[in-house]
Amino acid sequence: KQILIINGPNLNLLGKREPGIYGNRSFVDYLQTIEAMFPDVQLRYFQSNHEGELLDKIHELGFDVDGIVINAGAYTHTSIAIADALSAVTAPAVEVHISNVHARESFRHHSYLSAKCQGVIVGLGLTGYELAIRYLLNYQPPAIT
Ligand code: DQA
């Protein structure tokens, strides 16, 4: 199986960026841990600080992979384009946020992406990504009757 993990803007700075909120582990380091956890799964990881590049990756792989784990960073709260891209492709998606966005500023409480995802995991740190992968690996699309 193949899972696409997408991280949006500023998430390349994980480990260095506001460690009190986001922890001190880099995503590349964490990726090695989840690769070891799911040895039979092909994890495709993509990070970009550019909205259009995130769209391009969703378009490129979103019809082929078995699931998308997406943390769109601040674009979560602004991007109708990313929401439309998730609607356009066939792979089921789970939205992840490392921090508990609901315990933070009110502008982080709304997500354009949540309605396009199967579900949302917030505030569980990096563990949210592995929980999302686990869910997507077991996901069964609703039967067409
Ligand atoms: C974030 C939460 C967003 O509000 C913020 O803009 C981020 C990271 C999180 O993972 O907690 O960049 O998506």
pLDDT digits (tens, 9 = 90+) for 2-17: 999 999 999 999 999 9
**Which domain range does residue 68 map to?**
2-138
In-domain check, residue 145: no
98 lines ligand 1 (CB under 6 A): yes
In-domain check, residue 143: no
Number of domains in the chain: 1
Q: Whose CA is nearest to atom 6 of ligand 1?
A: 74
In-domain check, residue 104: yes
- pLDDT-derived band at 132, boundaries 50, 70, 90: very high
* CATH code for position 118: 3.40.50.9100
Atom from ligand 1 closest to the CA of residue 71:
13
139 part of the active site: no
- Vertex 14 angle, CA 11 and 20, to 5°: 120
pLDDT at 62 over 90: yes
97 part of the active site: yes
